[in-house]
Amino acid sequence: MGFIAGGEQRGTAADMFRRIFWDTALAASDPVLRMLRDVAGIKQVLYGTDFPHLRRDLAINCKQRILQSSELNNSERRAILGGNASNLFQAPIPSFAKCDFRVENNAI
């Protein structure tokens, strides 16, 4: 797999899961977020929406589910909603991904 650094090295499926990046498009439920954290590690998870192919309201709902997830702590939310992508692409967080990180009137 030439697009993954070191992809020519053989390893287990679990090793590969920890080396690739995962996005949350249409899959930002608590069970999925827990599985991604446990199997791949939070640093491998990116906020994804499939917008514009997905309706805008559903893309926004994906972000809200991440913000309200009981599976994530504040630093994990920040990582998924922009920090990981910013590090991966070595670029600033796009304006559509920025948020105030408020969950039920509690500032994060």
Tens digit of pLDDT at every position of the chain (108 positions)? 556 666 667 778 888 888 889 998 888 899 999 999 999 999 999 988 777 788 888 888 889 999 999 999 999 999 998 888 888 888 766 554 555 544 444 443
> Is the peptide bond prior to 92 cis by the omega test (within 30 degrees of 0)?
no
Identity (one letter) of the amino acid at 12? T
